[in-house]
Amino acid sequence: MNRPTGTDDGGTQDGPRLPRRGQGQLESQVLTVLRSAGGPATAGWVQEHLDGDLAYTTVITILSRLHAKKAVTRTRQGRSYVWTPASDVAGLAALRMRRVLDGERDREAVLARFVSALSPGDEARLRALLSRAAEDDEGPGGPDDSAAPEG
């Protein structure tokens, strides 16, 4: 079997090595392309509309990972699937953040470190979002505070 060997410049005999994508970057790209379909799309369609030369099997792997994360849904169509986004890129990032938090024993310490590392602008955004979420909980249809145990 002929495999490319390394060269001094970090590439292969077949050409320069492409830079590695950041963690989750390819999933985000696939999700963005899938959202642009305007409806269910096949893996082949997604592959055709992605920038770069990704193998069909790579696209299937990424779609399957997104399905496991509940970021896409799939419906059987003939012998294959059509895929539909269930989440946007922000939802996928939030899911990754939640998975990291769920994997830690001391959630309070992780959240405290996260908040203390925020820029002042991001901290203000987070405070506004938390305030808005609290208002939504207290508004019509929110939890009934009278049923809460007294502390």
Helix or strand holding residue 76 (H, E): strand 72-77
Do 27 and 89 contact (CB within 8 A), yes or no?
no
CA distance 24 to 31: 11
pLDDT of res. 81? 97
- pTM of the predicted model over 0.85: no
Q: Which string of b and e fits 40-68 if b means at least 16 CB within 10 Å?
A: bbbbebbbeebeeebeeeebbebbeebee
Residue type, 57: T
Task: Going residue by residue through the chain, which has 151 residues, state the pLDDT in tens, using 9 for 90 and above.
Answer: 444 444 444 455 556 665 666 657 888 899 889 999 989 999 999 999 997 778 999 999 999 999 998 889 999 999 999 999 997 778 878 888 888 899 999 999 999 999 999 999 999 999 999 999 999 887 665 554 444 444 4
pLDDT of res. 88? 78
CA distance 123 to 132: 14
